[in-house]
Amino acid sequence: MSRPVPEEEYGKRVSGAFKLWMRGVRDPYLGNVEVSPETAGEEDETLLKGYQEETDRMIQRIHDIENNRRYRLFQKFYRAAAAICCLTLVVMLLITVAYLPPVGNADNPAHNEVAAKYIEDGLQDTGAVNIVTGMILDYRAFDTFGESNVLFIATCTVLILMRNDKKEGKGSAEEEERLDSFYEPKDDRILQTVAMILVPFIILFGIYVILNGHLSPGGGFSGGAIIGSALILYLNAFGFEKTERFFTAKTYKIISFSALSFYCIAKSYSFYTGAHHLESGIPLGTPGSILSSGLILPLNICVGLVVACTMYAFFALFRKGGF
């Protein structure tokens, strides 16, 4: 039986510091970066006036198009370069079109062996009845993993640009409460009643689309978008205070990190065994049953979770600047 570790000692360990950072409890850089206070310098009125006059002369010279020889030369060069680029692109496209095979020719790229492989061997290789899902999450799973990472990186970028952290000294408690109430709904009974009825059904339908993606049209992207729209509808009806009872920034981090990590580990194992011609040991199951198609079902769930969280995070950040 392991002994309990004090909180201070736990925070000094690498694993403990990482978990505290993931939960948003501790920032390793907060208070550890030396910041020198900016000293106000004395302003020289004569020097400032000289800078202003020099700036005015420069702006007047740059915007004097009629007498600015360099600007006129640049305009002529820009127009000539634009015309040459457009003509070159048009000529390249016309030459490419001229070399295209006739419509309906058996040697066309649309009739190559890749499409035939997907259609003829897709069910046997992937166990998915839906050929499109088998292609996206098995033959081209690495590409789909990149798309999921793009969604996660896009959310991180929007979070960096638009997050509105509440810091001490930013404003009084009454001011912060007033700003928060601005983003909350005004007790719209019609919207709340409709959301209370529809949101559970929308989420259930999104889960159905995700779980049924390898059997019929659907999958992680479409099902995740449906669940994300349900979360947005709930947020518009009941506000951030009630939504944050089950979905916070910590929830988003855990779900996205877990889903992308499982996707990466699972497909890395699959790629490794496939590249070395080894048996993966992952059963494909009976085609047509819900528990079939190997890794496609859990990968669909991972993609759906990432898409749903990303949609809700985008809406929350653009609306309020936080979860």
Lowest mean pLDDT among 77-81, 113-117, 236-240: 113-117
pLDDT computed for residue 144 by the predictor = 82
pLDDT computed for residue 288 by the predictor = 80
Q: If we measure between CA atoms, which residue out of 179, 157, 308 comes closest to residue 235?
A: 308
pLDDT computed for residue 3 by the predictor = 61
Q: If we measure between CA atoms, which residue out of 211, 227, 206, 204 comes closest to residue 293?
A: 211
pLDDT computed for residue 38 by the predictor = 63
- What whole-number distance in Å separates Cα of residue 77 and Cα of residue 26? 56
pLDDT at 225 over 90: yes
User: How many other CB atoms sit within 10 Å of the CB of residue 244?
Assistant: 15
- What whole-number distance in Å separates Cα of residue 248 and Cα of residue 231? 12
Model confidence at 296, in pLDDT bands (50, 70, 90)? Answer: confident
- What whole-number distance in Å separates Cα of residue 141 and Cα of residue 133? 10
pLDDT computed for residue 271 by the predictor = 82
**Three-point CA angle 99, 100, 105, nearest 5°:** 130
H and E: helices and strands count for the chain: 12, 0
Q: What is the pLDDT of residues 40-56, one digit of tens each?
A: 666 677 777 878 888 87
Burial group, residue 219, by CB count within 10 angstroms (0-12, 13-18, 19+): buried
DSSP, collapsed to helix, strand or coil, labels residue 168 as coil
- What whole-number distance in Å separates Cα of residue 86 and Cα of residue 68? 27
- What whole-number distance in Å separates Cα of residue 144 and Cα of residue 307? 12
pLDDT at 257 over 80: yes
pLDDT computed for residue 168 by the predictor = 47
Q: Which two tokens stand for residue 171?
A: 């404003």
**Alpha-carbon separation of residue 76 from 68, 71, 72, 284 (angstroms):** 13, 9, 6, 65
The better pLDDT of the pair 101, 228 is held by 228
Q: What is the pLDDT of residues 82-136, one digit of tens each?
A: 999 999 999 999 998 888 777 767 667 666 677 778 888 888 888 888 888 888 8
Lowest mean pLDDT among 7-21, 76-90, 189-203, 289-303: 7-21
Q: What is the pLDDT of residues 143-199, one digit of tens each?
A: 888 887 888 888 788 878 777 655 544 555 555 555 555 666 667 788 889 999 999
CB-based contact 301:214 (threshold 8 Å): no
- What whole-number distance in Å separates Cα of residue 171 and Cα of residue 188? 29
Percent of the chain clearing pLDDT 90 (strictly above): 16
Query: What does R_g of the chain's alpha carbons equal in angstroms?
Result: 29
195-199, Cβ contacts within 8 angstroms, sequence gap of 24 or more: 195/233, 195/234, 195/236, 195/237, 195/238, 196/237, 198/230, 198/233, 199/230, 199/233, 199/234, 199/237
**Alpha-carbon separation of residue 238 from 22, 80, 308 (angstroms):** 27, 58, 18
- What whole-number distance in Å separates Cα of residue 226 and Cα of residue 308? 8
